[in-house]
Copies of this chain bind each other. A is one copy, B any other.
C-alpha cells in the first residue's frame, strides 16, 4: 500500500507490526536488562539498523523507532548511567533516523513511541509527566514520523495524559496498555480502559507486552466488545510477548520467576505465532505485531499466515522459508523430509528436553502499584542491603 498512512491501511487491510527490540538486542549484546534503555541507537547504530532490516524483510509494515524508555527521567534512573552520556532527545533523534533509513527500503511506515514514566509512578503532577512526553514527541514530529504509539502503560490514567499530548500533533495515535484480562493496576477493567483511550482520542487501541499472544487476545476481545457496546469506533492493536505465560498474574511476565533471564522454555514457535495471527485477524484486530521475545522469524510467520489477506504477497524473508516446513523436502535425512507438511507442525506439542522443569511457576504477587511506598519509583541505585531485605520479604 505505497504512500498510504496508517489509518488508510487499517481501513482497507491488515498492518503487520514488528517485534521486540529490547529482548532481541539484549541477547545480541547491546541493551542492558534492568534499565532496558535504547542508547544503542547512538552507541551501535549498525546493530539497531540490522534488526530493523530483519523485521522489514520478515514482512513488518511499520518500523517502530527504538525509543523505548528513552525519557530523560528514565535514562538516569536507579543506577543506570546511560543518561549521563546522551540526552533522551539525542537517542530519540538517532532512533527516528535509523527507522526511516530502513523503512525507505520497502515503503514501510515509521512510528515514534512513548511509554510510562518514573514521573507518574513517583507522584509527579500531570504537567511534569506531560512535559516528559512532550520532549520525546517533539523529536518525533521534527523527524516526520508517520504516527505515534503510546505503549507499555499499566495505568490508563497516565495513558490518557500521553494521548492528550500526542493528539496535539495531529498525528494518528495508537494506544496500547500492558495489562491482562484483570484490568489496569488501579483496577479499571480492560473494557473500560479501551473506552477511555478511544474517548481520549486514540484511533487505534489495544494491548502490548506482559502476556502471551493468547492472553493478549483474550484482553483485546474484552476491549473490542466494550468499545462496540459503548457505540464507539476504533481500530485494534495486539503486540504480545512471544513467551507462553498462562501462569502469569496481574502484572504479567515480570512476576514470573523466569523473568528476564530464564524465559527460554517459554518462547513461542513460529507455529504458535501463525495461530495467533490467524486468531487476531478473525477477532477483528487489524494491527498485528509483537513485543518482547518476538523475533524476525515470528514476524515472517505472521506475514505468511496473513498472505491471503494481503493479496498473496509474501515477505522477502520468505525467500528463505517455505510455508509450513516445506523446505524440509530438501533435507538429507528421509525422516526429516517426512516432516515437510502442515499438519505435522500444527499438531506437534514440542517437548522441552527439561526433565526438571514444570509447566507452571508461581508468580510473585506483590499487588498493584496503587501507591505502596515500596512500589514507588526511586532515582537511586539499589543497595546490597535492600536486596537482602527484598529476599527476606519474598520468603515471608
Closest to A267 in B: B264
Q: Is A187 an interface residue (CB 8 A)?
A: no
User: Closest residue to A69 on the B side, CB-wise?
Assistant: B332
B330 pairs with A77, CB closer than 8 A: yes
A34 adjacent to B358 (CB under 8 Å): no
Taking a contact as CB atoms under 8 Å apart, the answer to whether A362 and B366 are in contact is no
Given contacts A295-B27, A329-B381, A350-B354, contact A262 B269 (CB under 8 A): yes
Hey, which chain B residues are within 8 Å of A32, CB to CB? 320-322, 327, 330
Select the stretch in A192-200, A228-236, A305-313, A341-349 that faces chain B: A341-349
Q: Cβ of B393 and Cβ of A338 under 8 Å apart?
A: yes
Majority SS at the chain A contact face: loop
Residues in B neighbouring A57, C-beta threshold 8 A? 29
Q: Are A333 and B244 in contact (CB under 8 A)?
A: no
User: How near does chain B come to A123, taking the closest CB pair, in angstroms?
Assistant: 14
Q: Is the CB of A259 within 8 A of B336?
A: yes
Q: Do A350 and B357 touch across chains, with their CB atoms under 8 A apart?
A: yes
Q: How many of chain A's residues have a CB under 8 angstroms from any CB in B?
A: 102
Of A121, A255, A361, the most chain B CB neighbours within 10 A belong to: A361
Q: Is the CB of B296 within 8 A of A29?
A: yes
The answer for the CA separation of A265 and B354 in the assembled complex, in Å, is 8
Q: Which positions in A face B, CB cutoff 8 Å?
A: 26-35, 46-47, 50, 53-54, 57-58, 77-80, 118, 121, 212, 243-247, 251, 254-271, 295-297, 300, 316-317, 320-322, 325, 327-341, 345, 348-362, 364, 366, 374-375, 377, 381-382, 386-387, 390-391, 393-394
